């Protein structure tokens, strides 16, 4: 078993959205990775600059952040060649680790752009070290920058940030302040590929919550009528919990509910509806145990939203001639 600690640097259209390639918004220009063994000890590293093929000039934000210069790309290879070597270097038993959720998604988008077969399983589970850092050291919700987490742990900053290999190196050092058990218990799921049918739907269980990723739906109305999407099994015992407050919208694509399990108490349900590239949508549902005080906050949230809708209707009616 090997952990592959991955970091990417990418570029975008220097002329802004008007000139971007809709098939590839972010083009990878550097791949960096550190391999760790099962004890979290480093065994090897990978780093290569990638020659841009889509956006030949660097976006001004890219220039501000990364240390690459035009001369660095002169002898660089194209993405398909670099990607082939990187995938081979990773090996077949790789467990991918990143700082944040974006890198694996962008890697898959770049692979798809060049029609390179995906080497990843479905579903693709990985370890978001930024999230796990928050679970172990903070409040589970906050997300620090990589440099801020390095400072928090007192890790010496011996090399500059914002190159792919150096950021992968710092991420690996943070991993060494975690245990393999803490990492293994807190996997994340990548959403670049989502279930195509009921059989592929994803059900994941963690210490304090469960996660469900649905098949695609025509729109959010159809999604919110699906019996599996709106079900509320207890995240501890998996028994059906009684809804105390049915699913209600919070913003355009988020829904909350409050349920109660006779054995494990109050449960908070949250559904996030996301759109796919084919105009279909899918649901990501989490259910977790909460305190009576948190349950009261959900009740208050629904009442406030109900009052706002009532006032909005009253205001609109007053404007009608």
Task: Please list the residues that pair with 151 across neighbouring strands.
Answer: none
Q: Which of 62, 5, 67, 12 is nearest to 33 (CA)?
A: 5
Half-sphere exposure of 66 (CA within 13 A, CB side): 26
Q: Examine the pLDDT at 123 and tell me if it is beyond 90.
A: yes
DSSP string, 275-299: E-TTS-EEEEEEEEE--HHHHHHHH
Give the confidence band of 72 by pLDDT, cuts at 50, 70, 90: confident
CB 52 within 8 A of CB 11: yes
Whether the predicted pLDDT of 320 surpasses 70: no
Helix or strand run (H / E) with residue 55: none
Report the C-alpha gap between 166 and 290 in whole angstroms.
39
Kindly list the domain boundaries of the chain, sorted by start residue: 2-184, 196-309
Domain 2-184 annotated CATH 3.30.420.10: yes
pLDDT band at residue 69 under the 50/70/90 scheme: confident
Q: Is the pLDDT of residue 318 over 80?
A: no
Q: What is the DSSP string of 16-37?
A: -GGG--TT-SSEEEEEEEEEE-
pTM, two decimal places = 0.91
Residue partners of 162: CB distance under 8 A and separation at least 6: 9, 65, 66, 67
Share of the chain above pLDDT 90, in %: 83
User: What is the per-residue pLDDT across 239-291, written as a single tens digit (0 to 9) for each?
Assistant: 999 999 999 999 889 999 999 999 999 999 999 999 998 999 999 999 999 99
Statement: residue 317 has pLDDT above 80 = no
pLDDT for res 319 = 67
């Amino acid at each position: 078993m090997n952990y592959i600690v991955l970091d990417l640097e990418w570029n975008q259209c220097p002329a802004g959205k008007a000139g971007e390639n809709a098939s590839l918004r972010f083009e990878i220009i550097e791949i960096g990775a550190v391999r760790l063994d099962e004890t979290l000890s480093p065994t090897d590293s990978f780093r290569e600059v990638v020659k841009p093929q889509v956006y030949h000039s660097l976006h001004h934000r890219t220039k501000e952040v990364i240390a690459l210069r035009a001369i660095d790309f002169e002898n660089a290879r194209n993405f398909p060649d670099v990607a082939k070597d990187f995938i081979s270097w990773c090996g077949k038993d790789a467990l991918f680790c990143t700082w944040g959720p974006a890198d694996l998604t962008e890697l898959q988008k770049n692979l798809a752009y060049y029609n390179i077969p995906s080497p990843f399983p479905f579903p693709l589970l990985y370890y978001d070290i930024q999230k796990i850092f928050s679970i172990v050291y903070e409040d589970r919700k906050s997300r620090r920058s990589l440099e801020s987490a390095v400072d928090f742990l007192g890790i010496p900053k011996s090399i500059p940030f914002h190159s792919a290999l150096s950021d992968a190196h710092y991420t690996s050092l943070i991993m060494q302040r975690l245990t393999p058990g803490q990492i293994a218990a807190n996997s994340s799921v990548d959403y670049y590929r989502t279930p195509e049918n009921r059989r592929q739907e994803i059900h994941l269980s963690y210490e304090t919550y469960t996660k469900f990723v649905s098949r695609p739906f025509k729109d959010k109305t159809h999604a919110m009528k699906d019996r599996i999407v709106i079900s509320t099994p207890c995240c501890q015992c998996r028994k059906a919990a009684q809804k105390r407050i049915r699913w209600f919208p919070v913003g355009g694509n988020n829904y909350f509910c409050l349920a109660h399990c006779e054995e494990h108490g109050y449960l908070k349900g949250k559904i996030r509806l996301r759109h796919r590239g084919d105009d279909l949508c899918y649901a990501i549902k989490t259910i977790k145990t909460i305190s009576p005080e948190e349950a009261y906050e959900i009740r208050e949230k629904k009442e406030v939203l109900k009052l706002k809708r009532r006032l909005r209707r009253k205001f609109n009616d007053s404007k009608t001639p």
